[in-house]
Structure 1
Amino acid sequence: MSNSQAGNLAGQKTFFGHPVGLGNLFFTELWERFSYYGMRALLVLFMVAAVSEGGLGFDDPTATAIYGLYTAGVYLAALPGGWLADRIYGQQNAIWYGGIIIAAGHLVLALPGFGLIGEHYGFFMGLILIVVGTGLLKPNISSCVGELYPEGGARRDAGYVLYYMGINLGAFLGPLVCGFLRINMGWHWGFAAAAVGMIAGLIVYRLTQHHLGDFGKLPNPVKPGDEGKVKAVKLATYIGTGLIFLIAVLALEGVITIDALSLSQYSVFVIVAVAALFFGRVLIDKSLTGLERRRVVVLIALFIGAALFWSGFEQAGSSLNLFAERYTARELLGIAIPAEVFQSLNPLYILIFAPFFSALWINLGRRNLDPSIPLKFALGFLQLGIGFGFMWIAASLIQDGGQVLPTWLLLTYLFHTTGELCLSPIGLSATSKLAPRSYYSQMMGMWFFGAALGNLLAGLLAGEFSGENVAEFPERYRQIVIFCGAVTVAFLIATPFLKKMAALDQVKTDDVTREDEPGAYEAGGPTAKP
């Protein structure tokens, strides 16, 4: 983008005093998050619903494992998605193509309800398409926001705040609309609503794309001598994607057998191994200074902490969603409230409390009282544990076969959200500030590897809350509470050592913006969720 063009963009005041291009990204992302979180709220409920009720009839462990694989795939796909935009398509085209693929995925999910495709084909092919499309769209729409503000500063931060409001508005509305359509018209109408949301986002994006200027219209120039490498990676990406679809078809046709639970477990080992190899390689890099190596050790601790946090937090779409459906009284004034409505609590709480936390960190920082990075992680786990403490009580109350008031889930989501605001934006901000410059992008990618690992673990953990072992729920929630307490204590004990090791007193963490994929940070679940 030229300086003159950047100046013209910065001077436009047509969207809440910000560059008009922000309006394009705001509404595009609002509708994309509407579609993503609307469909996600239906996902596990659809899988465990009996075939006679229009569902797939999977058992709880299988359904939650598939859910974990899907949500982890969304994070992992952001890595090649960002690379393809930089080297092949450009950010603006990647957003457009990604949105089209996402819309196609939601449509394919909806088609079985209208007799146009087999149920299992529609479901699994739709999920794969959404993962591929989200990997193209999410990391690149975030980078476009920052490019509207070449001057940086507070105005750029304010622009991201507006952008995140759009994200969370979409995440709030999606489960409401899709949930009410599901209980009144059927599962596939809910999936169709998600498709309509993404198509609306595409229309908004295309009609106003010219407001984004020239940034990201073309890919970055390939360095001389790298043409062959770029071509090879591009080909490998396409072949890899094609193989995923081929394997899915072979499994659906019964040629091969895929066990979702085993696949999820193996995927955990693969991600852990990749992370260990990566961090080990960085630590033995002789070009790094002593301070950089010590900061990498801190980043390893944050990586582990984030993965463990997401394994609990991401129960929202799986085990807690099932708890809302099966064990929570959901009738208000004679109207049946969909279980999906509880998925709207996190983005609602984010919209309410994110400004408070932002002001809190800034005001504490002015008084030199801002908690350090590991201390904020401890606070995050403390509140995660408190949230599960409420579920421990709720699980005890359903042992006689009754249902509990929605209050327990309201409190659980409240403390999980405030815990998220203490840990997740801080972790991503810290990663951006502590990462060695020569490994900056790779370290940011590893943060999302951690999110993927957490989502896989969340799917496996959710399988422990099967409807067949309700009597074990209180004990399992008690164990989670104890585990969260142990991690809290571990971070509290480690705080002075980590601060000294990496000179954390020199690193400010008053940035509480968020995105699901590479960029800053998005609230609303991953992602967000991350």
Structure 2
Amino acid sequence: MTSAPTGHPRGIYTLFFTEMWERFSYYGMRALLVLYMVAEVRRGGMGLTDEMAAAIYGLYTALVYMTALPGGWVGDRLLGARSAVWWGGIIIACGHVVLGIHSTQSFFIGLVLVAFGSGLLKSNMSALVGQLYPEGGARRDAGFTLFYMGINVGALFGQLMCGWLGEHVGWRWGFSAAAVGMFLGLVQFRLTERHVMHIGLRADHAGQNVQREWRMLQAGLAGVVVLVALGVSGMVQIDVVRFAHSTAWFIAGTAVLYFLWAFFLARLEPAEKKRLVVILVLFLASALFWAGFEQVGSSFSIFAERYTLRKLGGWEVPASWVQALNPLFVIGAAPLVALMWNALDRRGTSPSLTTKMSWALLMLALGFVVAAWAAERALATGPVWPTWLMSVVILHTLGELFLSPVGLSAVTKLAPPRLTGQMMGIWFLGSSLGDILAGILAGGVTGDATAQMPARFLHVALTAGISGIVLLILARWITKLMPGIK
């Protein structure tokens, strides 16, 4: 496979820029989502309560990652990973265009389209990155960290541009800018995909009835269309908050059933079953981490708007820009973290995968201690300096760098080759569960429940801290389940 002067395959840069533009569109729109929903109707918003907006936010972000599991299946079994990325991007672009129409019905239809397109693109994009580094090891970790930088470059500029347009020019302009970003990503992918070589061209159809699988997919999509049509037409009334709780149980149940199927019915070898246990641990750690981390788009975003001093001279910094702090810190810290992993690996002192995950949870816990302190001060004395939220985001970003790119890389190493796309979907399903829990948590610390914010944040800190310590204690035992995997 042809390599660039950096030593990485040339294909990584095709995937880097495609993912960069897709994340520009996703995070750019997400920066506006809760603020648009809680904004008054006279300001062009939807006028929803904080609790309802947080629940919708959680449902949407959860659906993005929940659809990664069937998206991985479609890439594995039907389209091939590369075609799945292409068609996923087209669906995302269409979703952002529909969001820009600016009506209640088009808003929910657009969210569904973006969610399903993202699910199709995300798991297969990560699978392609893993296939570019068949040798595994620290080089693959470095490749995923580079790829993760592409995510955050896109997120940074998407949140800055779409956030400013949405808050200062008009909500529809922010949503439409996200559509332009995805379109540019598609153009870039088509022009440079030759560098990906033979990777991801074919799906694995061996021993399966392909026509039956296509019919299953068509039936599933038809069911989704019917449900969305019933919901947006008002024929079926949905209690969003209760639906969010039900969805959390559904996601957890889906994960349990999938792991049971994979362990007992997928005809895995004993070594593969041991690695499956490690993937289960990663799933649980991921769900807990993202339940806390995703407050940046919901309760932290509302905190930035209502309880943070944002005046800079005569200009008020958009509240949505607090979300841009995370990718900004990632861009600055990711190369340093990648160099650190490589240096430790050369010296033979690299921490285990489980140890890195435990560090992520401990960073999350520390961040929520700071968030609880900031919330207590804001409720007692009024708006606080932005340095409070900046400190929280820095701590959570370090945790993210210990968990997310390393976890992405680890799943591609641990997954049975014929289930790689599906296992990437399971990894993202952990994010999905975390996101829906994040929305539920955010609804319990804003609006009428604002007084509970410090106590709830401390509860999250305690849960994450204990989990991180337990994971650190079990690190050596978990490492023994995956011999040869770093």
With the length of structure 2 as denominator, give the TM-score of the two structures: 0.90
Q: Which residue of 153, 157, 177 corresponds with 2:161?
A: 177
Which structure has the greater CA radius of gyration?
A: 1
Give 1:96's aligned residue: 86
- Does 1:333 find its partner at 2:313? yes
Displacement of 1:152 in angstroms is 7.7
Give 1:65's aligned residue: 55
Give 2:343's aligned residue: 363
Contact 2:375 2:454 in 1 (8 A): yes
Give 1:78's aligned residue: 68
Displacement of 1:21 in angstroms is 5.0
Displacement of 1:98 in angstroms is 2.1
Supply the distance in 1 between the matched residues of 2:442 and 2:408 (Cα, whole angstroms): 25
Supply the distance in 1 between the matched residues of 2:205 and 2:183 (Cα, whole angstroms): 33
Supply the distance in 1 between the matched residues of 2:22 and 2:393 (Cα, whole angstroms): 23
- Does 1:273 find its partner at 2:253? yes
Give 2:292's aligned residue: 312
- Does 1:482 find its partner at 2:482? no
3-state SS of paired residue (2:67) = helix
Spell out, residue by residue over 1:216-249, the C-alpha distance to the aligned partner (whole angstroms, 9 max, x if none). Answer: 45x43633x63xx322222222332233232222
The residue type equivalent to 2:359 in the other structure is L
Contact 2:28 2:160 in 1 (8 A): yes
Spell out, residue by residue over 1:166-221, the C-alpha distance to the aligned partner (whole angstroms, 9 max, x if none). Answer: 3221111001001111222111111111111112222333344455555545x436
Give 1:423's aligned residue: 403
Give 1:520's aligned residue: none
Q: Which residue of 22, 47, 51 corresponds with 2:41?
A: 51
156 and 445 in structure 1: CA distance in 2 versus 1, 3 angstrom threshold: closer
Give 2:374's aligned residue: 394
Note the 1:442-521 alignment, pairs <5 A.
Answer: 442-499=422-479, 502-503=480-481, 506-507=483-484, 509=486
Q: Which residue of 2, 13, 16 corresponds with 1:26?
A: 16
Note the 1:105-254 alignment, pairs <5 A.
Answer: 105-112=95-102, 119-145=103-129, 161-213=145-197, 215-216=199-200, 219-220=202-203, 222-223=205-206, 226=208, 229-254=209-234
3-state SS of paired residue (1:457) = helix
Give the number of aligned pairs. 486
Supply the distance in 2 between the matched residues of 1:216 and 1:294 (Cα, whole angstroms): 27
Supply the distance in 2 between the matched residues of 1:300 and 1:161 (Cα, whole angstroms): 22
Supply the distance in 2 between the matched residues of 1:233 and 1:146 (Cα, whole angstroms): 25
Supply the distance in 2 between the matched residues of 1:465 and 1:20 (Cα, whole angstroms): 46
3-state SS of paired residue (2:47) = coil
- Does 1:378 find its partner at 2:358? yes
Displacement of 1:310 in angstroms is 1.2
More displaced stretch, 293-302 vs 189-198:
293-302
Runs of 5+ in structure 2 lacking a partner?
none
480 and 243 in structure 1: CA distance in 2 versus 1, 3 angstrom threshold: same
With the length of structure 1 as denominator, give the TM-score of the two structures: 0.83
Supply the distance in 2 between the matched residues of 1:389 and 1:151 (Cα, whole angstroms): 41
Supply the distance in 2 between the matched residues of 1:274 and 1:288 (Cα, whole angstroms): 20
197 and 327 in structure 1: CA distance in 2 versus 1, 3 angstrom threshold: same
Supply the distance in 2 between the matched residues of 1:389 and 1:265 (Cα, whole angstroms): 26
Contact 1:128 1:245 in 2 (8 A): no
Supply the distance in 2 between the matched residues of 1:177 and 1:38 (Cα, whole angstroms): 7
Supply the distance in 2 between the matched residues of 1:88 and 1:143 (Cα, whole angstroms): 15
3-state SS of paired residue (1:399) = helix
More displaced stretch, 90-99 vs 251-260:
90-99
Contact 2:17 2:150 in 1 (8 A): yes
Displacement of 1:318 in angstroms is 1.1
More displaced stretch, 428-437 vs 146-155:
146-155
Runs of 5+ in structure 1 lacking a partner?
1-5, 113-118, 510-530
Contact 1:80 1:237 in 2 (8 A): no
Give 1:255's aligned residue: 235
The residue type equivalent to 1:110 in the other structure is G
Q: What RMSD in Å do the two structures reach over aligned CA positions? A: 3.0
Supply the distance in 2 between the matched residues of 1:94 and 1:414 (Cα, whole angstroms): 34
Higher relative contact order (CA 8 A, sep 6+): 2
Displacement of 1:56 in angstroms is 1.2
